[in-house]
Amino acid sequence: MSDIRIDAAFDSGNIEVLSVNGATATLAIPKDTHSEFKQWFHFRVAGAAGRELELRITGLEESAYPGGWPDYDACVSEDRDYWGRAPSSYDRDIEGGTLTIRYTPASDIAWFAYFAPYSMERHHDLIAEAAASEGVDHVHLGTTLDGQPLDALEMGDGEYKVWLYARQHPGETQAEWWMEGALEVLTDPADSVGRELRKRCRLHLVPNCNPDGSKRGNLRVNAAGTNLNREWADPTPEKSPEVLAIRNRMDETGVDFAMDVHGDEAIPVAFLAGYEGIPAWTDAHGDRYYRYEAILDRRTPDFQTEFGYTNAAPGKANLAMSTNQVAERFGATAMTLEMPYKDNKANPEPEQGWSPERCKMLARDCLAALLEFLDTAEG
Amino acid sequence: MSDIRIDAAFDSGNIEVLSVNGATATLAIPKDTHSEFKQWFHFRVAGAAGRELELRITGLEESAYPGGWPDYDACVSEDRDYWGRAPSSYDRDIEGGTLTIRYTPASDIAWFAYFAPYSMERHHDLIAEAAASEGVDHVHLGTTLDGQPLDALEMGDGEYKVWLYARQHPGETQAEWWMEGALEVLTDPADSVGRELRKRCRLHLVPNCNPDGSKRGNLRVNAAGTNLNREWADPTPEKSPEVLAIRNRMDETGVDFAMDVHGDEAIPVAFLAGYEGIPAWTDAHGDRYYRYEAILDRRTPDFQTEFGYTNAAPGKANLAMSTNQVAERFGATAMTLEMPYKDNKANPEPEQGWSPERCKMLARDCLAALLEFLDTAEG
Amino acid sequence: MSDIRIDAAFDSGNIEVLSVNGATATLAIPKDTHSEFKQWFHFRVAGAAGRELELRITGLEESAYPGGWPDYDACVSEDRDYWGRAPSSYDRDIEGGTLTIRYTPASDIAWFAYFAPYSMERHHDLIAEAAASEGVDHVHLGTTLDGQPLDALEMGDGEYKVWLYARQHPGETQAEWWMEGALEVLTDPADSVGRELRKRCRLHLVPNCNPDGSKRGNLRVNAAGTNLNREWADPTPEKSPEVLAIRNRMDETGVDFAMDVHGDEAIPVAFLAGYEGIPAWTDAHGDRYYRYEAILDRRTPDFQTEFGYTNAAPGKANLAMSTNQVAERFGATAMTLEMPYKDNKANPEPEQGWSPERCKMLARDCLAALLEFLDTAEG
Amino acid sequence: MSDIRIDAAFDSGNIEVLSVNGATATLAIPKDTHSEFKQWFHFRVAGAAGRELELRITGLEESAYPGGWPDYDACVSEDRDYWGRAPSSYDRDIEGGTLTIRYTPASDIAWFAYFAPYSMERHHDLIAEAAASEGVDHVHLGTTLDGQPLDALEMGDGEYKVWLYARQHPGETQAEWWMEGALEVLTDPADSVGRELRKRCRLHLVPNCNPDGSKRGNLRVNAAGTNLNREWADPTPEKSPEVLAIRNRMDETGVDFAMDVHGDEAIPVAFLAGYEGIPAWTDAHGDRYYRYEAILDRRTPDFQTEFGYTNAAPGKANLAMSTNQVAERFGATAMTLEMPYKDNKANPEPEQGWSPERCKMLARDCLAALLEFLDTAEG
Ligand SMILES: [Ca+2]
Ligand SMILES: [Ca+2]
Ligand SMILES: [Ca+2]
Ligand SMILES: [Ca+2]
């Protein structure tokens, strides 16, 4: 039979084909733009119907997070809508670290990705639909280095200022799926959580903070090779216009509550990270964050507090990171939400693992937790 | 112009036309089968495009719940999918109590109902879809007096026995909308609440306890004129075969947790009623119910505990009612969920009021509250 | 294992259960209301998952069309949306003529019918959607003996008067599926055939001429036991108010072109029947019909002219039948469209046979043929 | 109020912003890649809700087809799904030829394009869905200069070799909408035309012959600036790898019938162009094309033969154009289908004009005409 054909010249496509032999391919992940990071992959396999594909992604010990590969199964779709998992195994000792994906498609075409992709076309569908909803304002925050618009959506008539922003790291597509779920809550007139939040808050959402990295198929950086979540202390028009535009808008609006939405390559569960170690830290300030975290933990099995990052020591917080900067600069209850690429072992979903659907449901829980947090605030 | 035409000979249709003059109609609500209850209405108006309809439903001081009409706006739909509200006003002193509905349809046809209807066709769609889901068993509990099947759905691999049942009172269609929401949670593999509940529980759902009353357009009774929620002490094949079949199945399975889902005509909010006054009452038993109620209250603005029914005095509980019987008979944490026909004033939705969408979301919250209740049970 | 459970107490349900043993059932078809006709069946089987059902429908040599059973496969659905076929065989010598259906459902519930049902709920959805379309008028033609409305839809600004009406015989559900296809053409602003027909014609559609028989699960008659297509010479309010209402409206509007839509139990292809033998017959009049028939034949493989009914001899036409009456009374180009229950052998579809989808597509072809017919009329 | 914001950095985006003042913008169309052609535009306007936009596209006397602008209304969408028309007027004497578009969006965001866009993401959805259909083979024909795959779909078990290919000129997006309609016919098992064509033919479809031009927002050329429909005599890997790959595959399969699908900027109707003037011309060969054209004309008001291109004189056909080359090389019945950007005046659709929906319906008619053409071929 003929060799399979592998393509990646599309929105967020990213793979290098080293060799193909029948239904077996040896692959590598190209580096992010002007950067050493590499982890995100997204490609299409043609000529695949009924053949057991063996897709070997090599050189992964040099990837950004080698710890992401053990216990990871690749995402696969034949209809570009439902994303399941293809059994995968990692061997750090073969060809610089090799993830071997095995899968037998029913169709002639199958799509593989590190996580279910969220294209710029879908982004524009999301923005158009939300902008057309009653009471939603679109704000054009600025223009990226590749000339794309940086879109924000604002809504609500309350005093409490909420900022939700996602996908500073473009390969963490979980974050924009989360945004889709959040916008469903906030724009549905029948949703009592959305209705109540719009009464109490002014909400500012940036569904995609890094459109250039998204389209280019990067894991972590923008078109200039900048990791945006290390730019919040001193963003510049040359390296990080996205952060500059967002932070400027925050300066105009103020921030009481902020959630920066991410994916984590290694840890197989959803968790939050706070702002321990900022100069302005007080226990009263920090307790607000811990209280929110506890509420969210109680509300859903898809969130937990056992696993997560190590806290910074007092005074050692990195103010170049968004959560720390926003907590310090605005006194906000700020946090980084991390969702897994893998599945959580306590409550696994064998067919899909962590999935777009679960990202969207976690967004529902995060907003309902926010309402409970506001409801139960001390007087 | 010609007179409008009013019809009700369809699933759950119920109206009597006293007179029609142009776009104005004087109407009355027929009594339930073999019964004095009357409250449910459902009819179609034709010849309506662009005309201000004035629909006067008279004789309502004799209805089952005259307190249901003040502050009530009738439900209306032109596409039979989206149900909005038509401004309505009640005057107890006109023609024995008259609700006047005013509405100007864009289409030639408009449908009016006491609450968004849930037809037996939709019931069968619901049952078919759920029965086709992975891990769901259909149970044919028995046959009604009109020869319809009484359908139950069962799922889950756990020890804890949960019974959810709805629409003993057929005109309380909120209850079957709630079931649709509950089944979405319980049959979606991506839903972590559903997945976790199926692990811990065996769940038994009866989406419609009264198919005959539903098809006939009754508010409260079955084909024999029986109020099923007064039959739980001594159900009979002649008067209440539906209750007999359900209670028998409960006797086979046991019950740890039970929710009987209803609508309340007068009180404009969602609330729970428990089993105070049963012979087997203990504070420990009752506290389980109060704990669940508090969790649900905390989780959603669409549920509250301020308004509701007066508790029965010690030893005075009516064991013919489902919740009391089940709490007494099985020692279960049992409850009656009531949803409004009106809207709650604290968090209103002006276009739709209380709606099918909100019934479904409340079901999601009830199940998530059940998981939290189980998670936080004392050792 | 337990016995399967069979139910039919729903819209258009019709079956008698003689006996059940495990997954095997012996059944019979109840007669139509006040009538000897019997052919339509529609029932639900529960307790079915993974079991090979053997469903034996007996006594069929006494059915209305015994010739309908050889080469016929029963319609089956598990989701009530997609209707496939279950392999069936007919033996005229067993138990008065027995159709044996074999099928192994994946789900616990499966639905069987003579053809894909079209419920009154779906009818009302169809009417509501069409009535809400730009330029469509709903006409309430009258009320049936069971109190249901007889719905017509009218549209178009032209001189040429077109009448399309369906389901005089309620068990010929193909006819209302056809109507759904026709209304899609006629209400879609992007459809150039619909747009052009609305310019040249005034169109009158009666999607269901026999709602009472439809709901009751009859093959051929209404609530009084009347075969409506034998009532067009002298319809009466007592026996055939449906025909009386339609014919009266035709008298008001006039008729240039009429199609009466049916299903045929025995002949496995779609065909037309005309009005040979009416007193007013002229070759010029008849040629209009033959010209339409030839156009339709040329346009689609799902229509043919080889098989069909024998023509009436000159002067022998039955004027109690709609097509003859309308051709005679109005000088209209009139015809009866027959669609099969079986599949056509020349162009079969193995999974579904003749299906709702094909009824709808044939409606598209019939309307496009009408436009071509009008386009190519001689000066 | 603030200035509107205009963006075009997305799939097929193309506009240059000369100036913006409030809700008025002065614009120009950038040239195609390495080319003088310019005509296609596609951009997003933000900050638009409730404001009367005045969008002035200047310099159009230098566009590829200045005759395209009179009587043209720009395409507009607020939800990126339904594309209507914005009233537009052309004045050749202002700023080198100016099209002025006026439109007041309800939403904050509106999208404008020369015709409804067809993104590469939608292309991949189309390919994935078709490739997953029963009996469809995907063929990877080759790789474009920008590294994109050139996708073909093949199906059918017959002898007669049909080639359908579209969008050599990428800004003629009508052509890929047409392909979507054609694939619906050919992959739907219930469609009798598709089923019959698959029996008689082997069909080869190339839904997008120019992916690079499509993504880049070109009107007529690929990434090298080549007009592909002038390359069929001598395609080269450097300038026209797309044509080379397609023609090579045609050489392998042979071609009996070919349709090359396009849009025409100036002529406001759909029409065909044939292969008059090829060296191999015979009247018998040409009559096959004329016969097909007449069938299609008869079948739909959305096709006509009155308006179109002037035929080439004998021996003067340009063999670098696809239709001529294919007719000459393979003796095929070949043709170019042209669809308008404007609306046809004989049968206009005021809201949408010529639209994606009409492209898809014309594809249905083209395939049904092909079947009729085959059915009625002389022995
Ligand atoms: Ca948790
Ligand atoms: Ca509450
Ligand atoms: Ca034919
Ligand atoms: Ca034509």
Q: How far apart are CA D86 and CA D73, in angstroms?
A: 6
Cβ neighbours of A11 in D, within 8 Å: 11, 120-121
Facing B124 at nearest CB: one of C80, C143, C144: C80
C-alpha of residue D368 to centroid of ligand 3, in Å: 11
Q: How far apart are CA B301 and CA B205, in angstroms?
A: 25
Q: Write the pLDDT tens digit of every residue in A226-254.
A: 999 999 999 999 999 999 999 999 999 99
Confidence of residue B345 (pLDDT cuts 50, 70, 90): confident
Mutate to test the interface with A, among B85, B174, B192 (most CBs of A within 10 A): B192
The whole-number pLDDT of residue D268 equals: 97
- For residue A202, what are the contacts with CB-CB under 8 A and spacing of at least 6? A154, A155, A156, A157, A158, A159, A160, A161, A162, A253
- For residue C93, what are the contacts with CB-CB under 8 A and spacing of at least 6? none
Is chain D adjacent to chain B, meaning 3+ CB pairs within 8 angstroms? no
Q: How many CB atoms lie within 10 A of CB B149?
A: 23
The whole-number pLDDT of residue C378 equals: 58
Cβ distance B308 to B267 under 8 Å? Answer: yes
Backbone angles phi, psi at B111, to 5 degrees: -115, 135
Confidence of residue A378 (pLDDT cuts 50, 70, 90): low
Nearest to D303 by CA among D265, D260, D273, D330: D273
* Size of the A and B interface in Cβ pairs below 8 Å: 67
Angle between helices A322-330 and A241-253 (to 10 degrees): 30
Share of chain B above pLDDT 90, in %: 97
Please work out, in degrees rounded to the nearest 5, the angle formed at the alpha carbon of residue B352 by the alpha carbons of B350 and B357.
Answer: 130
How many Cα atoms sit within 13 Å of D76 on the Cβ side? 22
User: How much is the average pLDDT of A67-73?
Assistant: 97
The whole-number pLDDT of residue B378 equals: 58
Q: How far apart are CA D362 and CA C107, in angstroms?
A: 40
Chain centroid to CA A23: how far?
A: 32
Q: How far apart are CA D65 and CA D353, in angstroms?
A: 19
Cβ distance D150 to D245 under 8 Å? Answer: yes
> DSSP letters of A43-74?
EEEES-TT--EEEEEE-GGGSS-GGGSTT--E
Here the tokens at position B209 are 């306890």
Confidence of residue D251 (pLDDT cuts 50, 70, 90): very high
Cβ distance C39 to C114 under 8 Å? Answer: yes
For A346, the closest chain B residue by CA position comes to B196
The whole-number pLDDT of residue D345 equals: 83
| pTM, 2 dp | 0.97
The whole-number pLDDT of residue A226 equals: 98
Whether A32 has a pLDDT exceeding 80, the answer reads yes
CA distance D352 to chain C (A): 8
Cβ neighbours of A302 in B, within 8 Å: 192
The whole-number pLDDT of residue D346 equals: 84
Here the tokens at position D31 are 């040239």
- Render the burial of C113-145: b for 16+ CB within 10 Å, e for the rest: bbbbbbbbbbbbbbbbbbbbeeebebbbbbbbb
When computed from its CA atoms, the radius of gyration of chain D, rounded to whole angstroms, is 21
Facing B196 at nearest CB: one of A193, A347, A355: A347
Average pLDDT along chain C, 379 residues, taken 10 residues at a time: 95 98 98 98 97 98 98 98 98 98 98 98 98 97 98 98 98 98 98 97 98 98 98 98 98 98 97 98 97 97 96 96 98 98 90 97 98 85
The whole-number pLDDT of residue A168 equals: 98
C-alpha of residue D346 to centroid of ligand 4, in Å: 10
- For residue B57, what are the contacts with CB-CB under 8 A and spacing of at least 6? B15, B27, B28, B29, B41, B98, B99, B100, B101
Please state, rounded to an integer, the average pLDDT across all residues of chain B: 97
B149 with C78: Cβ contact below 8 A: no
Nearest to C218 by CA among C4, C345, C33: C33
Mutate to test the interface with C, among D82, D178, D192, D269 (most CBs of C within 10 A): D192
Is chain B adjacent to chain A, meaning 3+ CB pairs within 8 angstroms? yes
Q: Which of A72-86, B279-293, B336-350, C327-341 bottoms out in mean pLDDT, i.e. has the lowest?
A: B336-350
- Render the burial of A286-323: b for 16+ CB within 10 Å, e for the rest: bebbebbbebbbbbbbbbbeeebeeebeeeebebbbbb
Domains within chain B, CATH numbers bracketed: 5-113 (2.60.40.3120), 120-376 (3.40.630.10)
For C78, the closest chain B residue by CA position comes to B128
**Active site (catalytic) residues of A:** 338
Cβ distance C15 to C202 under 8 Å? Answer: no
B189 with A368: Cβ contact below 8 A: no
CA dihedral B285, B290, B295, B300 (to 10 degrees): 140
C-alpha of residue A349 to centroid of ligand 1, in Å: 16
Whether B379 has a pLDDT exceeding 60, the answer reads no
For C357, the closest chain D residue by CA position comes to D190
**Active site (catalytic) residues of D:** 338
Nearest to A126 by CA among A184, A79, A51: A184
Cβ distance D149 to A46 under 8 Å? Answer: yes
CA distance D64 to chain A (A): 26
Share of chain B above pLDDT 70, in %: 99
Facing D349 at nearest CB: one of C190, C302, C347: C190
Spot the catalytic one: C242, C338, C351, C357. Answer: C338
In this structure, chain D runs to a length of 379
Q: How far apart are CA A298 and CA B298, in angstroms?
A: 11
Q: How far apart are CA A252 and CA A31, in angstroms?
A: 36
